[in-house]
Amino acid sequence: MNPQEPARARPGPAFTLTFDGREIAAVPGQTVAAALWAAGATSWRTTRRAGRPRGVFCGIGVCFDCLVTVNGSPNQRACLVPARPGDVVRTQEGTGHED
């Protein structure tokens, strides 16, 4: 079941963004993390040392585990940043900068 149903959510028209090149659908009001969860993704970062996958942990902007690269800017907290039409979201490897 989609949790939007019991809440009778009637968001505006869906739009697309890309996640590692794959098109995914999002609706207005969703954060990047919410759009990724709704598309079935739970990880979008690898850690700097061990290269381990991470995604949302605290859900409220405190832990920085959900860092992701959006439109070329690394280190965006996916749980805070709103999803926008045409966003190019990429898995962030390490610091997200080419070292």
| Residue in 62, 71, 82, 88 binding ligand FES, rule: CB under 6 A | 62
User: What's the closest the beta carbon of residue 93 comes to other proteins, in angstroms?
Assistant: 14
User: Binding partner of residue 91 among other proteins, ligand FES, none, CB under 5 to 8 Å per kind?
Assistant: none
| Residue in 38, 39, 59, 91 binding ligand FES, rule: CB under 6 A | 59
Q: Which residue has the tokens 């996640």?
A: 19
Q: Measured on CA atoms in the order 73, 78, 82, 84, is the torsion positive or negative?
A: positive
In one-letter notation, the amino acid at residue 13 is: P
Query: Per CB under 8 A, does 30 bind other proteins?
Result: yes
User: What's the closest the beta carbon of residue 21 comes to other proteins, in angstroms?
Assistant: 18
CA distance 28 to 61: 20
At 38, phi and psi to the nearest 5?
A: -65, -25
Contacts with other proteins in 54-93 (CB under 8 A)? Answer: 54-65, 67, 75, 79-82
CB 59, CB 79: distance < 8 Å:
yes
CA distance 19 to 26: 11
- Residues lying near ligand FES in the complex (CB under 6 A) are found at 56-59, 61-66, 77, 79
